[in-house]
Amino acid sequence: MKQTISVLVENQAGILNRITGLFSRRAFNIDSLAVGVTDDPAVSRITIIVDSGNSEMEQVEKQLNKLIEVIKVRTLEEDKLIGRELVLVKVNANAKTRSDIMTICELTGAKVADISPTSLTLELSDTPDRISTFEAMLRPYSIQELARTGMIALQKGSGKI
């Protein structure tokens, strides 16, 4: 079962190493991991998607909490979170196919980030599911390169961790 953990950490060198080391040492599987600084430059937020059962998640949370630089850990419930991922995808495009691809962009809300005579580079920020659908729609046009950020997430409503 996929679960989303939001972790606030001191923005210090080596913390990412400690977190990924912890996951590999305790044999927890990471699906994706996204890191960025928060409104407080001394604090980073790490969003980790883990594939595991509930009892294991409890250990993941507890072990993360033991790391000295970890300030807060919270597992976000799926129906109570807003999750977004960014994808950049470079797809083959010529005069014939370009308008079809643009239709997909319009339908999904993707934007054109770059254009060349033989390609389009598109960007889309959405839920991981919808990004996967977008990717599937583009596959017939031959994807040259693709990069996904992994999901970042916050709680719905006014609550915060």
CB nearer to another protein: pick between 5 and 137: 5
Are 124 and 87 contacting, i.e. CB atoms less than 8 angstroms apart? Answer: yes
Q: How far is the CB of 32 from another protein (least distance, A)?
A: 22
Out of 2, 66, 111, 160, point to the residue binding another protein (CB under 8 A): 66
Q: How far is the CB of 4 from another protein (least distance, A)?
A: 20
Out of 2, 62, 156, 160, point to the residue binding another protein (CB under 8 A): 62
Residue with tokens 């059962």: 53
* H or E, element range at 87: strand 81-92
Query: Does residue number 13 form part of the binding site for another protein (CB under 8 A)?
Result: yes
Q: How far apart, in whole angstroms, are the C-alpha atoms of residue 112 and residue 124?
A: 9
Q: How far is the CB of 146 from another protein (least distance, A)?
A: 31
Are 22 and 14 contacting, i.e. CB atoms less than 8 angstroms apart? Answer: no
Q: How far is the CB of 76 from another protein (least distance, A)?
A: 20
How many angstroms separate the Cα of 4 from the Cα of each of 29, 38, 46, 82, 161? 12, 18, 10, 11, 13
Binding residues for another protein (CB under 8 A): 9-10, 13-14, 17-18, 21, 25, 55, 58-59, 62-63, 65-66, 68-71
